[in-house]
Amino acid sequence: MTQKRILLIISGGIAAYKSLELIRELRRRDIACRCIVTKGGQEFVTPLSVSALSGDKVYTELFNLSDEAEMGHIELSRSADLVVACPATADLMAKAAGGLANDLASTTLLATDKPVLMVPAMNVRMWQHPATMRNIETLRADGVTVMEPDEGAMACGEFGPGRLPEIPAIVAEIERMLAGENAGALSGTHALVTAGPTREPLDPVRFLSNHSSGKQGYAIAEALARLGAQVTLVSGPVSLPAPRGVNLVPVETARQMLKACEDALPTDVFVSVAAVADWRPARAATKKLKIKGAGSEHPSMELTENPDILKTLANKRKNRPSLVIGFAAETHDVEEHAVAKLKRKNCDWIVANDVSGDVMGGTENEIALISRDGSERWPRMGKDEVARRLALKIAETVGDEGDGLKLAAE
């Protein structure tokens, strides 16, 4: 799987500063950005800041001898998988709709043979002007994808549609377009994903839990949905918004999570990412536990095992998911423990990850994908890219096996 590349055109408008955040988010997902900054765009962001974040040269002029010698505007327009104009001003969209080519950005848009995404941002009156509406209609008829702007307060003080969409929404649309032919690869597939920690109450105000942020599970659920899967996400308590196009089922305890998973069956794919608490108090106190004072004995508590959700679903005689994928979060001997877990739990795959660093709260992961056929190491990358690759791997398995997943464990 080669790295995806976009050509990002940053045009003039106050929303141009948000393009820096967009570049950072795309880089986190292992999507490379090469950028064009228009003359107007340079009034809001500098080529130096764009270059520092993108890690690539920034292009600004059509008639630049060294740029034309090194790349050339024709090659620049075709060097990426997708061309994105963000923000797309009324002026840039008017040029593109009319086929004008009097600067590097408009020439690139006219010369490209790649898909184009326009992300508009402008004053509400400009957005609603009949000329802008005609231009958008023309662009869409020409095959350009034009996102709808958000509605809200403007920098100019007015209120209405015209705000740049939120960065997560833009990233999701870019990833959808980059998926291309894979966009419907999991259509007709039901995927069940668990994410986050569980909380096991000690008393009405305290609980046993762990540091899981839920980021990896949420990213996997969203990546599967982008490939067309119907996704049920059973999540412990996290501070993350529900992924788009995903049925979110919030739970607290391990027993609640198991019930929610069993209620979601039958399912084709089960990805067990949640960091489920292994133990819970045998009897949770009905009143807050109190410290009795200095010199008193430390309170004791009897613990009992929680249900093993992964093992339970992997060993079902009826409605066993065709593909069962577990996660093994380890601090040492990662692959050895993962291989043992694969056999012990009767999984088809295990995603082994080293959590000795900041993985459980961080944005990156380094994993090994373990199956009965061996292991496959992936380099350290953002959790969103791990999710994308895993979703594609699942889609490849579905496609290779045709109708249904016929795996060795069945």
pLDDT in tens, 95-119: 999 999 999 999 999 999 999 999 9
Sequence-distant (6+) residues with CB within 8 A of 391 are 186, 220, 223, 224, 226, 227
Q: What is the mean pLDDT of residues 276-305?
A: 78
Q: What is the dihedral of CA 198, 201, 205, 208, to 10 degrees?
A: -60
Radius of gyration, CA atoms only, the chain:
25
Catalytically annotated residue among 33, 35, 86, 156:
156
State the Cα–Cα distance between residues 204 and 349, nearest whole angstrom. 38
State the Cα–Cα distance between residues 292 and 298, nearest whole angstrom. 9
Structural domains present in the chain: 4-180 (3.40.50.1950), 184-401 (3.40.50.10300)
pLDDT in tens, 3-32: 789 999 999 989 999 999 999 999 988 899
Q: Are 198 and 281 in contact (CB under 8 A)?
A: no
State the Cα–Cα distance between residues 255 and 232, nearest whole angstrom. 17
Token readout for 224 is: 């599967």
Query: 284: pLDDT confidence band, cut at 50, 70 and 90?
Result: confident
Which stretches does DSSP call E strand in 19-166?
Answer: 31-37, 58-59, 82-88, 116-120, 145-146, 150-153, 159-163
Q: Are strands 230-235 and 150-153 parallel, antiparallel or unpaired?
A: unpaired
Which of 18-22, 248-252, 291-295, 328-332 has the lowest average pLDDT? 291-295
State the Cα–Cα distance between residues 151 and 123, nearest whole angstrom. 11
Token readout for 10 is: 């940053």
CA atoms within 13 A on the CB side of 22: 30
**Which whole-number Å values give the CA distances from 87 to 38, 183, 393, in the listed order?**
11, 25, 33
Q: Please confirm, yes or no, whether 156 is among the known catalytic residues.
A: yes
Token readout for 374 is: 């061996």
Numbered residues of the known binding site for CTP: 278, 288, 307-310, 327, 341, 345
Helix residue ranges, H only, 102-198: 104-111, 124-128, 130-141, 167-179
State the Cα–Cα distance between residues 234 and 248, nearest whole angstrom. 6
Q: What is the mean pLDDT of residues 180-202?
A: 88
pLDDT in tens, 206-238: 888 888 899 999 999 988 998 889 999 999 999
For the stretch 132-169, what's the b/e string if a residue is b when 16 or more beta carbons lie within 10 angstroms of its beta carbon?
Answer: beebbebbeeeebbbbebeeeebeeeeeeebbbbebee
| pLDDT score for 204 | 87
pTM of the model: 0.63
| pLDDT score for 247 | 95
